[in-house]
C-alpha cells in the first residue's frame, strides 16, 4: 500500500468519462509531478494500464469498483482485478455515482472494505447537496455518510476521505475558505479515529484557487474534475 504519511499534499485528477489514447499520450508527456506531493490520475478504467508515468510519486486510480468479489456480474471490475493491474487508489461513493447509479452508503462501505483488503486505498467521497446545505443539514448528512460509508477497518494509512459538496461540483461555485476549513475540521472531529485521516477537498478547484484551498489547516489535498483535463492547468495545481 502507498505510504500516505510521506506526502504533505495529495492531488487527484478525476477525468470522469473523458479521454482517449492521444489525449493521455499528450497529457503524460506534459505532466510535471512535484515530488513533495502524491499525484493520482483517475482515468476511465480501460486506459489505466496505458498510463505510464516515470515518477515514483505518480499513481493511477480507478473511478469505481464492483461491490462483488467475483461471479456472474456482467460489466463489473473487482478490487482484486484492480490490484492485479497495480492500481493503488480508487474513488468510491462519488456523488455522480450516488446520484446516477444509486450507490448507497452501504455499497460504498463494502467497496471500500474490498479495496482495503486488496491493499488499494479507497478515496471515500462525501458531501451535501445545496438543498441540504440551505436547510443547515450539512453536519447531519456528513455524519451519516461517514458512519455508514467508512468501514471499521479503515484508518488514516489505508483510506482517504474527500469532501465534495455536491453543489460545488462542475458549477464554478465553492464554499468560502472558512467553510471548507470548518467542515474538514468537523470531519476529523467526528470520532477520534478520524483525527489523522487525510481529507481532500473537491468541487470547482482550479489553478486560481487551489493554493489557498490546499493551504488551509485541515485540508490535505484536492480532488479535481474539470480543471484536471487541462494538463497545463493541472500542472499549476500540483506544483
Q: Which is nearer to ligand 13P, 72 or 102 (CB)?
A: 102
Nearest partner of 171 among 129, 213, 204, judged by Cα = 204
Q: Which three cell numbers stand for residue 238?
A: 500540483
Taking the complex as a whole, how short is the minimal distance between the CB of residue 220 and ligand 13P, in angstroms?
15
Taking the complex as a whole, how short is the minimal distance between the CB of residue 125 and ligand 13P, in angstroms?
7
Q: Which is nearer to ligand 13P, 80 or 207 (CB)?
A: 207
Side-chain half-sphere of 57: how many Cα atoms within 13 Å?
19
Instruction: Find the helix or strand (DSSP H, E) in which 188 lies.
Output: helix 177-189
Q: Which three cell numbers stand for residue 213?
A: 484551498
Nearest partner of 149 among 214, 83, 194, judged by Cα = 194
Q: Please give the residue ranges that form the binding site for ligand 13P (CB under 6 A).
A: 14, 94, 164, 169-170, 202-205, 223-227
Taking the complex as a whole, how short is the minimal distance between the CB of residue 163 and ligand 13P, in angstroms?
11
The four Cα atoms 129, 133, 138, 142 give a dihedral, to 10 degrees, of 10
Q: Which is nearer to ligand 13P, 151 or 226 (CB)?
A: 226
Residue with cell 477497518: 153
Taking the complex as a whole, how short is the minimal distance between the CB of residue 74 and ligand 13P, in angstroms?
26
Q: Which is nearer to ligand 13P, 14 or 67 (CB)?
A: 14
- Give the CB-nearest residue to ligand 13P: 225
Helix ranges restricted to H, 14-104 = 21-30, 79-84, 95-100
Residue with cell 490546499: 214
Q: How far apart are the first and last CA of the chain?
A: 24
Q: Active site residue: 139, 164, 185, 218, which one? A: 164
Active site residue 118: no
Whole-angstrom distance, CA of residue 37 vs CA of residue 193: 24
Q: Which is nearer to ligand 13P, 203 or 221 (CB)?
A: 203
The four Cα atoms 190, 195, 197, 201 give a dihedral, to 10 degrees, of 60
Taking the complex as a whole, how short is the minimal distance between the CB of residue 54 and ligand 13P, in angstroms?
25
Active site residue 218: no
Q: Active site residue: 94, 128, 156, 184, which one? A: 94
Residues labelled as active-site residues: 94, 164
Amino acid at each position: 500500500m502507498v505510504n500516505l504519511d510521506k506526502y504533505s499534499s495529495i492531488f487527484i485528477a478525476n477525468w470522469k468519462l473523458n479521454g482517449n489514447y492521444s489525449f493521455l499520450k499528450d497529457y503524460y508527456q506534459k505532466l510535471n509531478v512535484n515530488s513533495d506531493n502524491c499525484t493520482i490520475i483517475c482515468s476511465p478504467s480501460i486506459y489505466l494500464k496505458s498510463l505510464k508515468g516515470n515518477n515514483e510519486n505518480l499513481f493511477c486510480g480507478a473511478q469505481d469498483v464492483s461491490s462483488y468479489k467475483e461471479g456472474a456480474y456482467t460489466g463489473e471490475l473487482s478490487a482484486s482485478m484492480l490490484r492485479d493491474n497495480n492500481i493503488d487508489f480508487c474513488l468510491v461513493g462519488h456523488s455522480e455515482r450516488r446520484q446516477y447509479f444509486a450507490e448507497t452508503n452501504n455499497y460504498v462501505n463494502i467497496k471500500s472494505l474490498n479495496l482495503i483488503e486488496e491493499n488499494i486505498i479507497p478515496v471515500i467521497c462525501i458531501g451535501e447537496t445545496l438543498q441540504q446545505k440551505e436547510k443547515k443539514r450539512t453536519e447531519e448528512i456528513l455524519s451519516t455518510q461517514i458512519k455508514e460509508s467508512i468501514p471499521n477497518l479503515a484508518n488514516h494509512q489505508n483510506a482517504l476521505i474527500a469532501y465534495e459538496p455536491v453543489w460545488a461540483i462542475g458549477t464554478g461555485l465553492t464554499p468560502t475558505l472558512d467553510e471548507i476549513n470548518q467542515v474538514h475540521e468537523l470531519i476529523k472531529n467526528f470520532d477520534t479515529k478520524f483525527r489523522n485521516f487525510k481529507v481532500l477537498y473537491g468541487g470547482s478547484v482550479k489553478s486560481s484557487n487551489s493554493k489557498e484551498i490546499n493551504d488551509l489547516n485541515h485540508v490535505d489535498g484536492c480532488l479535481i474534475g474539470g480543471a484536471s483535463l487541462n494538463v497545463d492547468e493541472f500542472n499549476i495545481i500540483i506544483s
